[in-house]
Amino acid sequence: MKQVLSHTEERMQRRINHLTEEFKGIRAGRANPNVLDKVKVDYYGTPTPVNQVASVSVPEARIITIQPWDASILNDIMKAIQTSDIGINPQNDGKMLRLTFPPLTEDRRKEIVKDVAKLGENTKVQIRNVRRDSLDDLKKMKKNGDLTEDDLKNGEKKVQDLTDKFIKKTDAMTAEKQKEIMEL
């Protein structure tokens, strides 16, 4: 039973970690270098993340600067950003790129808040699916004679407690991200 519970908690934590990564990529109107995490540059034939070929910094609230260590790939970085789904056109001054983030409109913020809510809801569904799988595993163990009726009830309660804990965590993360998007 301990193995099922630890596996359950591990799988639920992976869902939370995934949600955290998803939230990092959401643009909230201010410059966040994490929006570049999924952008890959063709560096000597290898797709390489931007932050591994350049210095990425945030000198002002709405500006990200990208200064490549190898000046010859400046245009490659620019093309990679333009073809990505960031939606911002970089300015090239010959030595570095600047990404200027426009302030979000009220309507756009509301759309993003809805998207955040959907991501949170999907994560909660995934957590509940993990709960269902774990309860099925416990019932199989009971059927095979590995668990007593009391152990099964105790295991079900512990799985439900884990589920409640991770659902609460998801709700808190979602509310925090929505608040971050709506302020400015």
Q: What is the pLDDT of residue 2?
A: 86
Band (pLDDT 50/70/90 cuts) for residue 184 is low
Of 75, 80, 73, the C-alpha closest to 44 is 73
pTM summary value: 0.71
> What residue spans in the chain does CATH classification 3.30.1360.40 cover?
33-100
Please state the CATH superfamily assignment of the domain spanning residues 2-25+105-182 in this structure: Ribosome-recycling factor (1.10.132.20)
Q: CB of 129 within 8 A of CB of 40?
A: no
Task: At 164, give phi and psi (nearest 5°).
Answer: -60, -40
| In the block, residue with structure tokens 């990505």 | 84
Write down the H helix ranges in 56-148: 74-83, 106-143
* 33-100: CATH architecture: 2-Layer Sandwich (3.30)
CA distance 34 to 25: 6
* Rounded distance between C-alpha atoms, residue 108 and residue 128, angstroms: 30
Burial class of residue 15 (count of CB atoms within 10 Å of its CB; 0-12, 13-18, 19+): buried
Q: Is the pLDDT of residue 27 over 70?
A: no
| 158: pLDDT strictly greater than 90 | yes
Query: What is the distance between the alpha carbons of residues 133 and 124, in angstroms, rounded to a whole number?
Result: 14
**CA–CA gap between residue 90 and residue 96 (Å, rounded):** 10
Query: What does the pLDDT look like over 113-142, one tens digit per residue?
Result: 999 999 999 999 999 999 999 999 999 998
**In the prediction, which pLDDT does 160 show?**
95
Q: Distance from CA of residue 113 to its chain's centroid?
A: 15
DSSP per position, 40-69: EEEETTEEEEGGGTEEEEEEETTEEEEEES
CATH 1.10.132.20 positions along the chain are 2-25+105-182
Averaged pLDDT score across all residues of the chain: 88
- What one-letter code names the amino acid at 124? K
Per-residue pLDDT tens over the stretch 30-70: 777 877 888 889 888 888 888 888 988 888 878 889 999 88
